[in-house]
Amino acid sequence: MKSSITCVATILLLVGCLPAQTGRQTAPTFELAFNRFYDHAEIGQILQRMQATWPAFLSLDVIGTSVGGREIWVMTVNNPNTGAETEKAAIYIDANIHGNEVQGAEVCLYTLWYLMENYGKLERITTLIDERVFYIVPTVNPDGRDHWFHAANTSSSSRTGIAPVDSDRDGVADEDPPNDLDGDGSITQMRKRVTKDATHKTNPDDPRFMVRCKPGEAGEFIMLGSEGLDDDGDGRVNEDGVGGYDMNRSNPFDWQPEYVQFGAGPYPLYWPETRSVAEFLFARPNIAALQSYHNAGGMMLRGPGAESVPEYPRADLAVYDELGKKGERQLPFYRYLIIHKDLYTVHGGFVNLGAEGLGIISFTNELWASPQAFNTKDRQPNDREDFNDLVMMGSFLTDWKPYDHPEYGPIEIGGWNMWSSRVPPSFMLEELCHRNMAFTLLHAESMPKPEWGPSTIKAISPGLFQVRVTLKNPKLIPTRTALAAQKKIGLPDFVQISVPGTAKVVAAGIVRGAWPHESVDPIENELDRIALESGLPSRGDVTLEWIILGDGPYDVLYLSEKGGRLTATLGL
């Protein structure tokens, strides 16, 4: 289905924003600022403009709609002059499955922009676009994204989608969300001054901040949580906000019910957003790499998501480790980690579907690392406060103000606002975009790229010939991961030989080892069509042998879901 975006404006006016720079620091063809964030409608306009600017390479489609009826867009990057997209290895990149984790969409836009601006200018970019395919989905959860931008939130709220959920089980859904009582556009904190049973006091070094009292220590305040009212009159505040589920727990691999994994929904792929993405992946077996953007913490995460899932095969770990270690060089302050071991357990996560369910080399990047604030790993206790004061001119903090609360009486409202963590300051956004894009381009460059190696035809006796063909994969990622081969995910690679007239293939096999210790594993069925169950290995090759009764020429066809298609004609 082609996009039906209604273009509100043909040109986005980026007043006061400088356009991003191309690799050669020249004026770009397409001006787009990366020192600001975009809402869902603006993203749609940008994607439409990009497709209109580079129609030969970009195709904009809608893969589904959200609960709220918003379109989920995918931009395909492919050079059709060098082959159909289905015959090239592809990388899938998405972002914003959690509504508040917004900056991944800007990384997706930056990736599209950078690829197009530098085609024909930078050799590596030109090669990538000529030889690879990119599927880029800037926002999987457009409802949550727009709710985060256009409603008052904390830095961590609006993670969910907007399908109503009865979180407090009172028979009514979403009836008691937080309330922006002071009208500052964020949900901050409430505190109440008390004469006894106080749990907190103001920081003696900086009274803007609260510290918990030590046992036996006199305090001044009790903390009442996030801004809000008892909207439904049940004696509780903020207990049933918008939504209340986690789309990144609803994927079919290792899915667990709600009592094990909160937010998973009643069954796998229950939410239309995740179902649309999964169906897109299932229909494209040429996807050989997968990247999903989240925030925050500065991490490049791989699976397994749960300890109960076996560790990946050694051959696959070598691929992950090389990419992860290079990624740590590309992304200062980011760490290459394992989800269940170094973070927490995730059942039904998206990269777990990619890696463990589909056998694709898959990463999640948690965007924005707080040490970037002062570009040092030597963190100080007051780094957050100092960054707000010294760099951000106090914009991350709302001063405490009195408020007459209908349930709590006189209280004060203030504290850190929704922009104070998880997302980078806008002036640091472009570097975040470029460095994370560079990691995904490394991933894309590492996808398999099969090529022919040496071939020989040797006469064994009159009219009987030994034909040998070598296929090589100079890239890091194999055409079939060890996990995919082990689980029989997808199809093996196939190599087929066609002989003319009355010629006949009388024997076939896969050559193992090298002379003088080589051997041939014989093929017993379909001698003219050899299945490579393990595909072509990482930076390796496979040699095949046929014994043919009858002269050539012989036509050889190689087919691979993730390696594409190669043809050759062999003759004496």
Profile the chain (572 residues) by mean pLDDT over runs of 10 residues. 41 45 75 98 99 99 98 99 97 98 99 98 98 99 98 95 92 94 96 96 94 94 97 94 95 96 95 98 99 98 97 98 99 98 97 97 97 88 94 96 97 97 96 99 99 97 97 99 98 98 97 90 96 98 98 97 98 81
| Residues in CB range of 481: below 8 A, 6 or more apart | 313, 315, 316, 319, 359, 360, 361
Sign of CA dihedral 82, 83, 88, 94: positive
The answer to whether 107 and 436 are in contact (CB under 8 A) is yes
Phi-psi region of 163 (alpha: psi -120 to 50; beta: other; left: phi over 0): beta
* In a shared domain, residues 226 and 306: no
Instruction: Tell me whether residue 263 is in a domain.
Output: yes
Instruction: Tell me whether residue 10 is in a domain.
Output: no
H or E segment to which residue 299 belongs: strand 299-302
* In a shared domain, residues 463 and 549: yes
Instruction: Tell me whether residue 377 is in a domain.
Output: no
pLDDT of residue 572: 73
* In a shared domain, residues 100 and 249: yes
Total length of the chain: 572
Could you tell me the CATH number of the domain that includes residue 512? 2.60.40
How many whole angstroms separate alpha carbon 324 and alpha carbon 221?
46
* In a shared domain, residues 234 and 254: no
* In a shared domain, residues 69 and 200: no
Instruction: Tell me whether residue 9 is in a domain.
Output: no
First to last CA, the chain: 50
pLDDT of residue 26: 76
pLDDT of residue 5: 41
* In a shared domain, residues 334 and 440: yes
Instruction: Tell me whether residue 518 is in a domain.
Output: yes
pTM, full prediction:
0.94
Boundaries of domain holding 222: 170-242+395-416
pLDDT of residue 21: 60
Instruction: Tell me whether residue 160 is in a domain.
Output: no
Instruction: Tell me whether residue 11 is in a domain.
Output: no
* In a shared domain, residues 284 and 331: yes
Looking at the structure of the chain, the number of domains it has is 3
Amino acid letter, 513:
G
* In a shared domain, residues 401 and 522: no
* In a shared domain, residues 409 and 439: no
* In a shared domain, residues 118 and 250: yes
pLDDT of residue 517: 85
* In a shared domain, residues 114 and 251: yes
The answer to whether 98 and 35 are in contact (CB under 8 A) is no
* In a shared domain, residues 134 and 50: yes
Instruction: Tell me whether residue 501 is in a domain.
Output: yes
Q: Which residue has the tokens 């200062």?
A: 332
pLDDT of residue 316: 99
